[in-house]
Amino acid sequence: MAQKEETTEAAAATEAASQNGEDLDNLDDPEKLKELIELPPFEIVTGERLPANFFKFQFRNVEYSSGRNKTFLCYVVEAQSKGGQVQASRGYLEDEHAAAHAEEAFFNTILPAFDPALRYNVTWYVSSSPCATCADRITKTLSKTKNLRLLILVGRLFMWEEPEIQAALRKLKEAGCKLRIMKPQDFEYIWQNFVEQEEGESKAFEPWEDIQENFLYYEEKLADILK
């Protein structure tokens, strides 16, 4: 029984480390193992800049997103008054597919209310496209909030072969949401503006080998869905 429990704990730690984009080489260390197991399994995390290893793993625009069980959402909000003054804010959200996904959490915590006297231009840089439920929430928000403009740039398409997902993405477009796949330049923008840099130095963005090829792959799939 003890051996089975140890195996279960190691598996749990491996899953937690994988979801967080962490190194899996130190799981033989009892303290490291205990630390990973005790990580809260479901939460919404907010901040201004995300760790570089999270970005490199979670935002990579791979075709098969094995192990990427979170959604990372970087946002820029510009609220413009009738006089032309603009208030801007930025940051990021991450989830572990808890009760509220990152997209829903944005409207619950970052922008829970809209001032009718302001015009909102919001840009999201998301690791993957919304699920059907989140897309429906976004569609309803856009439909009832006429002073909101939303641009969503995604690294990957989530379950894009599912008819339910395809229909939800088309409804987003019909509601006025601009949805597009991230180009290599967009990943570089995230790196420069939303990723933690070493103190005193700023490392240049290093594109992965298939970044352009995967962008073209997803761009074609999205165009087919939205046409």
The model's pLDDT over 128-184, given as tens digits with 9 standing for 90+, comes to 999 999 999 999 999 999 999 999 999 999 988 899 999 999 999 999 999 999 999
Nearest Cα neighbor of 101 from 77, 78, 134, 68 is 134
Could you tell me which residues are beta bridge partners of residue 80?
86, 119
- CATH code, 202: 3.40.140.10
* Catalytic (active-site) positions: 103
- Residue 110 DSSP label: I
Query: Who wins on pLDDT, 122 or 56?
Result: 122
Quote the pLDDT of residue 164.
95
Mean pLDDT of 1-15: 37
**Can you give the residue range of the structural domain that contains 165?**
71-107+114-226
Does any domain span residue 125?
yes
Does any domain span residue 195?
yes
Q: Contact 72/82 with Cβ under 8 angstroms?
A: no
Does any domain span residue 179?
yes
What total of structural domains would you count in the chain? 1
- Check whether 86 has a pLDDT greater than 70: yes
Strands, E assignment, the chain: 45-47, 71-80, 86-95, 119-128, 148-156, 178-181
pTM score, two decimals?
A: 0.76
- Residue whose structure tokens are 């641009």: 151
- What distance in Å separates the CA atoms of residue 112 and residue 45, rounded to the nearest whole number? 16
